[in-house]
A and B are shown apart, each in its own frame.
Chain A
Amino acid sequence: MANVQEERIEVSAIKGDYQFGFHDEDRSVFRARKGLDREIVEQISDMKGEPAWMRESRLKAFDIFRQKPIPRWGGHVEGIDFDDIYYYVKPADREGRTWDDVPESIKNTFDRLGIPEAEKKFLAGVGAQYDSEVVYHSLKEDLQTLGVIFLSPDQALQEYPDLMREYFGTVIPSEDNKFAALNTAVWSGGSFIYVPPGVEVDVPLQAYFRINSEDMGQFERTLIIVDEGATVHYVEGCTAPTYSSESLHSAVVEIICKPRSRVRYTTIQNWADNVYNLVTKRAVAYEGATMEWVDGNLGSKLTMKYPSVYLRGEGAHGEILSIAFAGHGQHQDAGGKIVHAAPNTSSIITSKSISKDGGRSSYRGLVKVTSGATGVRSKVVCDALILDAASRSDTYPVMEVDEADVSIAHEASVSRIQEEQLFYLMSRGISETEASTMIVNGFIDPLVKELPMEYAVEMNRLIELQMEGSVG
């Protein structure tokens, strides 16, 4: 018992001063002025020395961004002042090739996030994003010999211009939505992955993202191309220092799953609670391919993110596992979209959400079956836990079925922690807080089980922190 007591004191000490609330002294060399106009977009493109087509794509996207209205559904994004954001910050340090090249101050930041540990644990490549530029990038020798490309898209644009030009913006065109257009106009950093035919990458590739400069939006761009019969697992995690003024994170992730490939994309999002996290993620899966999104949302002020899979080839399979934890002042508007555009395609969406201390979590999803997509099977399950009377949980599933030969099912339930479960645990001498934490951890277990080990540990730890003081 004494141990538990001690640990709790320690944990609450961390919670009192937000765990990831440290930040390094800002030492960026170049920073575009606040606000956004054509000049800034051109400046970003110039700084990066981009080819003309990318510059044009940025400018076209900028026009689309200006024309599209602010979305009125989902969360309240009216609070974003687009003129009060730095759209591009380039840090002092160039991209490091080895760990030794990475500057001490940045290493310190990563130390706090556990990156070196991840390295030690044989994680394949670390593309760690510090501000808008990739500062550290390593790729294991064996991956290189397999022909796997794992770069920042800026590098890919220089080294593999043909691949970039062929696939960039094909899954998510800038017309898709206002924030995809914004990203296309000002994107910087992110990941570019190409896995050649038949190659199985058996260790997860991962990148850590951080926002550092105050008020700086982070607009990373990820493009993953997995060739026929190849396999890859990409892990993206985010933590950000807390700041008083509001930040914007608007990423675009495009994935192309060629026939018979298997792709998994895992995200644990833990932005500071002043960040607007508005992300467009979409994958296209061809014949016999499998695409899986594992999406955990713990941080941010508002998240609007609906990873989607377009099943375009016969027998393709899509899976979305979404977890949302909304605490005080947070709105997690998460979910997923599956479009069945080919026969005999199947999909599963599992959503688990927890609302606490006045937080609001929403599941917003779409399952669409187009005409001619026969033999489709889809199942959607949404479960929500509400931990107190001030919190809110919503479910907005949409099913559009344009074909008769299908089997589509959706179910959802909302409840609070059952008294009997609490009573059972407490009768065994466990405190109410611990019992609640155990129940919540059990509730999200389907997601945690799918995570690489160190993420699973971090996830459980984060839930414990979130649950601190939840029982009054």
Chain B
Amino acid sequence: MTVKATAALLGPSAEALEALSASKQEPTWMRDMRRAAWQLSTELSMPSGNEDAWRRTDLRGFKWESYHPLPPLLPAAGCAGREAVPTALTPHLGLPETTTGGILLQGDGSALWGSLDETLHQQGVIFCDLDTAVQQYADLVEPHFMTDAVPVSRNIFTAMHGALWNGGTFLYVPRGVQVTLPLQTLTAHMTSQGMLHPHTLLIADEQSCVTLVEEQISGSADLPGLHNGVVELCLKAGAHVTYLNMQNWSQRLWGIAHQGAALAADSQLCWASAGLGSRLHWTGVNVQLREPGSQAQLFGLMLTDGRQHLDYQTMQDHQAPHTESDLTFKNVLLGRSRTVFRGVVWLHPEAQQTAAYQSAHSLLLSSQARADAIPILEIEADDVRCKHGATTGRIDDDHMFYIMSRGLSYQEAQRMIVSGFLETVVTEFPVEGFQEKIRMAVDARI
């Protein structure tokens, strides 16, 4: 197996790229894209820490050279079936008390198992691993892959991702098709010191409707790893897309993610993310409202403890008139952890008759934790409604007293208040089964 041939390699390299591309028998266009991205990555340098987006995340512990590029474990297309799914992962499949329209499971950058509702398949919905899509649906993948929502040239991380992406999710919904059942994709990190570059590409054609939930987990809570992911959401005119993400990597994983959405006329995006795992994770979310009538709702929550460091950098980029966006973040901090929320609302001069809102709230449960909030407005149009708010505080003594006077212990009271604080955001994740998963993950932590 190719694993042995390249396992000795540490860090990203041109050899790893060639081995990866060859083992997948990729078409020329993809191999060339990888090579061009690799070239680009060698020309770019790591952030110095002086850039606004990187000022608050110290990347000195982010060491490419300590991790293994992961080649495919199995031939991309020939998934062995549900029986072959590692038992550690089976509890994560599906959503509690919620029927899914399809499930895709990937481990260490390779597809392990996949299913899709037969009706959806007949309607032309494509839901498969990205390697298969590159082979079979190049006409859909090639024009969208790292060209628009998240351009490969943005920085060293996107270039490195373009060169070495391994595994990923491809979802295409044809024009006018309404997918009512949520689709689930699960990305697992199984190998110690593994370097993951998962890619999610979602294309919702005109007037279509779809919900994708993505979970990111590690095989064990202390498995070291590196994550450099990209999520691209392309919403054609009138499309409705819900993208929900739960980042629950191991506490020894270092991660970077670039998530981008491009919204055409009258499209609607609901984006929600729960940041729970990782030693350090930086997530850039770039929502571009490109045409009139587009709307985006964004929700986020962070729960950190120990020495965790989570950084979300969001951009509500209003490029057209009659657009709307609304963002809410809630964060709970324990231990010596640190969270950063830096959200930009950018209204271009063309973005008249727009409304943009942003609010971020942090609850500190430890005096050693640190929460940074930077809600930024850049407004170049005048006929707008734009507001933001941010608060940071601790649990109100009166609330604690009230609950404890009813016979609950300090810990129980604290847990109730924290769940209540996060609940307002959790309930905005529009898939009930996914809400339940987040609640369970949160409960396990406090």
**One of B284-292, B322-330, B386-394 at the interface:** B386-394
**Among B366, B368, B389, contact of A409 (Cβ-Cβ < 8 Å):** B389
Once the chains are docked, how many angstroms separate the CA of A394 from the CA of B345? 9
Contact A395 B375 (CB under 8 A): yes
A403: chain B residues within 8 A (beta carbon): 364, 367
Contact B392 A394 (CB under 8 A): no
Q: Is A398 an interface residue (CB 8 A)?
A: yes
B369: chain A residues within 8 A (beta carbon): 404
- CB-contacts of B349-380 with A (<8 A): 349, 352, 362, 364-380
Q: Is B148 an interface residue (CB 8 A)?
A: no
Contact B390 A400 (CB under 8 A): no
User: Interface readout for A372-406 with B: 1 if CB under 8 Å, 0 if not?
Assistant: 10100000000010111111111111111111111
Once the chains are docked, how many angstroms separate the CA of A392 from the CA of B346? 11
Contact A404 B389 (CB under 8 A): no
A412: chain B residues within 8 A (beta carbon): 375, 377, 387-389
Contact A397 B374 (CB under 8 A): yes
Can you add 6 more A-B contacts, CB < 8 Å, to A407-B393, A411-B389? A394-B379, A397-B373, A401-B372, A404-B369, A412-B387, A416-B383
In the complex, how many angstroms separate the beta carbon of B442 from the nearest chain A beta carbon? 19
Q: List 5 A-B contacts (CB under 8 A).
A: A395-B376, A397-B375, A399-B373, A399-B392, A410-B389
Q: Is B116 an interface residue (CB 8 A)?
A: no
A388: chain B residues within 8 A (beta carbon): 382
Once the chains are docked, how many angstroms separate the CA of A395 from the CA of B374? 9
In the complex, how many angstroms separate the beta carbon of B268 from the nearest chain A beta carbon? 24
Closest chain A residue to B372, Cβ basis: A400
In the complex, how many angstroms separate the beta carbon of B344 from the nearest chain A beta carbon? 9
Contact A410 B375 (CB under 8 A): yes
User: Interface readout for A43-77 with B: 1 if CB under 8 Å, 0 if not?
Assistant: 00000000000000000000000000000000000
**Among B364, B386, B390, contact of A415 (Cβ-Cβ < 8 Å):** B386
Q: Is B381 an interface residue (CB 8 A)?
A: yes
Contact B387 A396 (CB under 8 A): no
Give chain A's interface residues, CB within 8 Å of chain B. Answer: 371-372, 374, 384, 386-416
A413: chain B residues within 8 A (beta carbon): 386-388
Q: Is B384 an interface residue (CB 8 A)?
A: yes
In the complex, how many angstroms separate the beta carbon of A131 from the nearest chain B beta carbon? 38
Q: Is B385 an interface residue (CB 8 A)?
A: yes
In the complex, how many angstroms separate the beta carbon of B85 from the nearest chain A beta carbon? 42
Closest chain A residue to B359, Cβ basis: A411
Contact B379 A392 (CB under 8 A): yes
Contact A416 B377 (CB under 8 A): no
Contact B384 A416 (CB under 8 A): yes
Once the chains are docked, how many angstroms separate the CA of A403 from the CA of B394? 9
In the complex, how many angstroms separate the beta carbon of B380 from the nearest chain A beta carbon? 5
In the complex, how many angstroms separate the beta carbon of B377 from the nearest chain A beta carbon? 4
B393: chain A residues within 8 A (beta carbon): 406-408
In the complex, how many angstroms separate the beta carbon of A383 from the nearest chain B beta carbon? 10
Once the chains are docked, how many angstroms separate the CA of A391 from the CA of B382? 7
> Contacts A388-B382, A389-B383, A401-B362 known; A394 to B390 CB distance under 8 Å?
no
Contact B384 A408 (CB under 8 A): no
Contact A398 B379 (CB under 8 A): no
Once the chains are docked, how many angstroms separate the CA of A390 from the CA of B374? 26
Closest chain A residue to B367, Cβ basis: A404
Contact B376 A396 (CB under 8 A): yes
> Contacts A399-B372, A410-B375, A412-B375 known; A371 to B367 CB distance under 8 Å?
yes
Once the chains are docked, how many angstroms separate the CA of A407 from the CA of B397? 12
**Among B367, B370, B377, contact of A374 (Cβ-Cβ < 8 Å):** B367
Once the chains are docked, how many angstroms separate the CA of A400 from the CA of B364? 12
B385: chain A residues within 8 A (beta carbon): 415
In the complex, how many angstroms separate the beta carbon of A226 from the nearest chain B beta carbon? 31
Once the chains are docked, how many angstroms separate the CA of A396 from the CA of B346? 12
Contact A404 B386 (CB under 8 A): no
Q: Most A CB atoms within 10 A — which of B365, B371, B379, B389?
A: B379
Once the chains are docked, how many angstroms separate the CA of A107 from the CA of B360? 55
Contact A386 B379 (CB under 8 A): yes
In the complex, how many angstroms separate the beta carbon of A255 from the nearest chain B beta carbon? 27
- CB-contacts of B171-192 with A (<8 A): none
Contact B394 A406 (CB under 8 A): yes
Contact A409 B367 (CB under 8 A): no
In the complex, how many angstroms separate the beta carbon of B253 from the nearest chain A beta carbon? 25
In the complex, how many angstroms separate the beta carbon of A294 from the nearest chain B beta carbon? 24
Contact A395 B388 (CB under 8 A): yes
Closest chain A residue to B350, Cβ basis: A389
Once the chains are docked, how many angstroms separate the CA of A294 from the CA of B373? 25
Contact B392 A406 (CB under 8 A): yes
Once the chains are docked, how many angstroms separate the CA of A398 from the CA of B375? 7
In the complex, how many angstroms separate the beta carbon of A337 from the nearest chain B beta carbon? 14
Contact B370 A401 (CB under 8 A): yes
Once the chains are docked, how many angstroms separate the CA of A402 from the CA of B372? 9
B367: chain A residues within 8 A (beta carbon): 371-372, 374, 403-405
Contact A384 B392 (CB under 8 A): no
B376: chain A residues within 8 A (beta carbon): 394-397
Closest chain A residue to B370, Cβ basis: A402
Closest chain A residue to B380, Cβ basis: A392
Q: Most B CB atoms within 10 A — which of A386, A401, A402, A413?
A: A401
B388: chain A residues within 8 A (beta carbon): 395, 410-413
In the complex, how many angstroms separate the beta carbon of A50 from the nearest chain B beta carbon? 37
B366: chain A residues within 8 A (beta carbon): 404
A389: chain B residues within 8 A (beta carbon): 349, 352, 381-383
Once the chains are docked, how many angstroms separate the CA of A412 from the CA of B382? 15
In the complex, how many angstroms separate the beta carbon of B355 from the nearest chain A beta carbon? 10
A387: chain B residues within 8 A (beta carbon): 382
Once the chains are docked, how many angstroms separate the CA of A396 from the CA of B374? 7
Closest chain B residue to A394, Cβ basis: B378
The 10 closest A-B pairs by CB, nearest first: A404-B364, A395-B377, A411-B389, A386-B382, A414-B386, A408-B392, A410-B390, A413-B387, A399-B373, A407-B393
Once the chains are docked, how many angstroms separate the CA of A408 from the CA of B385? 24
A411: chain B residues within 8 A (beta carbon): 387-390
**Among A371, A372, A404, contact of B394 (Cβ-Cβ < 8 Å):** A404
A394: chain B residues within 8 A (beta carbon): 376-379
Closest chain B residue to A414, Cβ basis: B386
Once the chains are docked, how many angstroms separate the CA of A401 from the CA of B367? 9
In the complex, how many angstroms separate the beta carbon of A348 from the nearest chain B beta carbon? 15
Closest chain A residue to B377, Cβ basis: A395
Once the chains are docked, how many angstroms separate the CA of A66 from the CA of B394? 45
Once the chains are docked, how many angstroms separate the CA of A403 from the CA of B362? 12
> Contacts A393-B379, A405-B394, A407-B393 known; A398 to B374 CB distance under 8 Å?
yes
A402: chain B residues within 8 A (beta carbon): 370
Contact A400 B375 (CB under 8 A): no
Contact B374 A399 (CB under 8 A): yes
A371: chain B residues within 8 A (beta carbon): 367-368
Once the chains are docked, how many angstroms separate the CA of A384 from the CA of B349? 16
B370: chain A residues within 8 A (beta carbon): 400-402
B383: chain A residues within 8 A (beta carbon): 389, 416
Closest chain B residue to A407, Cβ basis: B393
A415: chain B residues within 8 A (beta carbon): 384-386
Closest chain B residue to A405, Cβ basis: B394
Once the chains are docked, how many angstroms separate the CA of A413 from the CA of B379? 11
Contact A414 B384 (CB under 8 A): yes
Contact B364 A399 (CB under 8 A): no
Contact A406 B384 (CB under 8 A): no
In the complex, how many angstroms separate the beta carbon of B280 from the nearest chain A beta carbon? 18
